[in-house]
């Protein structure tokens, strides 16, 4: 039997893949990559599920620290979201592929499989990433069957039941995907463009449950990376979990969005990313204070290009590294503390404490300046000279 590595989540699609691949003549080795959203108890269930379905061997890998350093940190530097709304919560897929490819090399096999359908974005992210990391034979059981059956999920359930395997009853109503960054929720009335039910709330509290008192927290940054919380040193994953919990109570970072997907269709979902929203607000407030006007205008353009690459499947394209190098370089003076005020549905940066805030000793906006009326009048005249000249020449 030919060895094959399957990126395994324990859900219906990847559960179907194991016996399907075995019947195709493969010796299936499964890997679950924990990107910060799965408990050890759930990992145990996933391991048992893989073995019960016939996997030759299953391994679990936790990469939450790599996820912070390789994805979340540059995302915060970018300050950007896909279509100005979705903060690329899907970007853990690239590190999942990286670990699956690593296992392929250990097993000395060129066969790799995933459970993505042909209707979504993840198939693009998985395939492009695998192609970028080497020459592999990509096997996709769900895409193989979708042209031969009308109801893919119904077929998968029947296929498993006929072979004596139980079908998981978890998350029947919604498809929920959680990692260190937050959670995405889709399915049911979300897909039909109706109002989501109360059952769709995951990390965030429902509005009627918001705390009655506002709360302040202080986040310290060193070269653009959050390293302090209320004066205590904290590592990335720990900070994310704390912020998801505390800001989630106030409903911060919950959005309903309809993205234009990579494959050209609309994809409606809910995402909850309290920690990302808080870090975006705090980091941007600090940048605004220490950047020049030119930096403040140009950096978001670079950040948007980086996020668009990440959303679109091109994390391993060299341009992504080029952009990250710029984002890293421009963070040199992004050092200081920002106070965030949490209130129902909001996270506001209310104060900034940094040594290199660009405040001139010669002027205070709208209060005082070291220049007079003649300098101001002359500056404004020259600033508008081109427009005034055009108007004079083009009079009718």
Residue 191 lies in a domain: yes
Domain, as residue range, for 143: 2-75+88-170
Residue 310 lies in a domain: no
Average pLDDT of the residues in 271-291: 98
Asked if pLDDT for residue 186 goes beyond 70, the answer is yes
Residue 141 lies in a domain: yes
Query: Is the same domain home to 210 and 66?
Result: no
Report the alpha-carbon distance of residue 338 to residue 279 in Å, rounded.
10
Average pLDDT of the residues in 84-98: 96
175: confidence class by pLDDT, cuts 50, 70, 90: confident
Report the alpha-carbon distance of residue 26 to residue 70 in Å, rounded.
33
Query: Is the same domain home to 141 and 41?
Result: yes
| Three-state SS at 224 | coil
Query: Is the same domain home to 207 and 249?
Result: yes
Instruction: Give the least confident one: 248-252, 256-260, 280-284.
Output: 256-260
**Over the stretch 28-73, which tens digit does the pLDDT of each residue have?**
999 999 999 899 999 999 999 999 999 999 999 999 999 999 999 9
| CATH code of residue 278 | 3.90.1260.10
Q: Contact 51/27 with Cβ under 8 angstroms?
A: no
Give how far Cα 331 sits from Cα of 15, 221, 231, 372, Å. 44, 10, 21, 35
Query: Is the same domain home to 335 and 243?
Result: yes
Q: Contact 56/21 with Cβ under 8 angstroms?
A: no
Residue 372 lies in a domain: no
Asked if pLDDT for residue 82 goes beyond 90, the answer is yes
Query: Is the same domain home to 14 and 124?
Result: yes
Domain boundary among 118, 141, 170: 170
Residue 304 lies in a domain: no
Average pLDDT of the residues in 88-92: 96
Query: Is the same domain home to 99 and 141?
Result: yes
**Over the stretch 130-164, which tens digit does the pLDDT of each residue have?**
999 999 999 999 999 998 998 998 999 999 999 99
Report the domain count for the chain: 2
Domain boundary among 170, 192, 210: 170
Report the alpha-carbon distance of residue 74 to residue 225 in Å, rounded.
9
Query: Is the same domain home to 271 and 128?
Result: no
Asked if pLDDT for residue 216 goes beyond 50, the answer is yes
φ and ψ of 102, to 5 deg: -60, -40
* Strand-pair partners of 60: 32
Average pLDDT of the residues in 180-194: 94
| CATH code of residue 49 | 3.40.50.620
395: confidence class by pLDDT, cuts 50, 70, 90: confident
| Three-state SS at 169 | coil
Query: Is the same domain home to 159 and 183?
Result: no
Query: Is the same domain home to 49 and 158?
Result: yes
Query: Is the same domain home to 44 and 158?
Result: yes
Give how far Cα 282 sits from Cα of 48, 323, 357, 391, Å. 42, 22, 15, 43
Number of H helices, E strands in the chain: 14, 16
């Amino acid at each position: 039997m030919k060895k094959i590595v399957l990126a395994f989540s324990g859900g219906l699609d990847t559960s179907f893949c194991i016996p399907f691949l075995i019947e195709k003549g493969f010796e299936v080795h499964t890997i679950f990559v924990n990107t910060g959203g799965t408990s050890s108890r759930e990992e145990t269930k996933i391991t048992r599920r893989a073995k019960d379905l016939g996997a030759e061997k299953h391994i679990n890998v936790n990469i939450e620290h790599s996820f912070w350093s390789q994805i979340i940190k540059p995302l915060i530097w970018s300050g950007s979201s896909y279509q100005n709304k979705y903060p690329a919560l899907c970007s853990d897929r690239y590190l999942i592929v990286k670990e699956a490819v690593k296992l392929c090399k250990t097993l000395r096999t060129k066969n790799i499989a995933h459970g993505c359908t042909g209707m979504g974005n993840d198939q693009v992210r998985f395939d492009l990433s695998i192609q970028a990391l080497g020459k592999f034979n990509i096997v996709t059981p769900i895409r193989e069957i979708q042209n031969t059956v009308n109801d893919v999920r119904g077929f998968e359930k029947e296929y498993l039941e006929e072979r004596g395997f139980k079908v998981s009853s978890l998350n029947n109503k919604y498809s929920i995907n959680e990692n260190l960054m937050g959670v995405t929720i889709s399915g049911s009335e979300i897909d039909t463009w109706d109002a989501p039910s109360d059952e769709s709330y995951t990390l965030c509290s429902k509005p009627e449950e918001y705390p009655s008192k506002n709360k302040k927290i202080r986040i310290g940054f060193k070269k653009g990376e959050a390293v302090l919380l209320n004066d205590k040193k904290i590592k990335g994953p720990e900070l994310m979990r704390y912020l998801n919990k505390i800001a989630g109570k106030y409903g911060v970072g919950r959005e309903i969005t309809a993205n234009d997907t990579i494959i050209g269709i609309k994809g409606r979902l809910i995402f909850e990313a309290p920690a990302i929203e808080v870090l975006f607000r705090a980091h941007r407030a600090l940048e605004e204070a220490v950047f020049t006007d030119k930096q403040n205008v140009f950096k978001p353009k670079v950040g948007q290009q980086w996020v668009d690459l990440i959303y679109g499947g091109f994390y391993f394209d060299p341009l992504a590294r080029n952009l990250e190098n710029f984002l890293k370089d421009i963070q040199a003076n992004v050092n200081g503390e920002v106070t965030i005020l949490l209130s129902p549905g909001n996270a506001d940066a209310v104060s900034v404490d940094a040594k290199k805030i660009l405040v001139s000793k010669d002027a205070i906006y709208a209060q005082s300046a070291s220049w007079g009326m003649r300098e101001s009048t002359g500056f404004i005249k020259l600033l508008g000279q081109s427009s005034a000249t055009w108007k004079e020449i083009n009079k009718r």
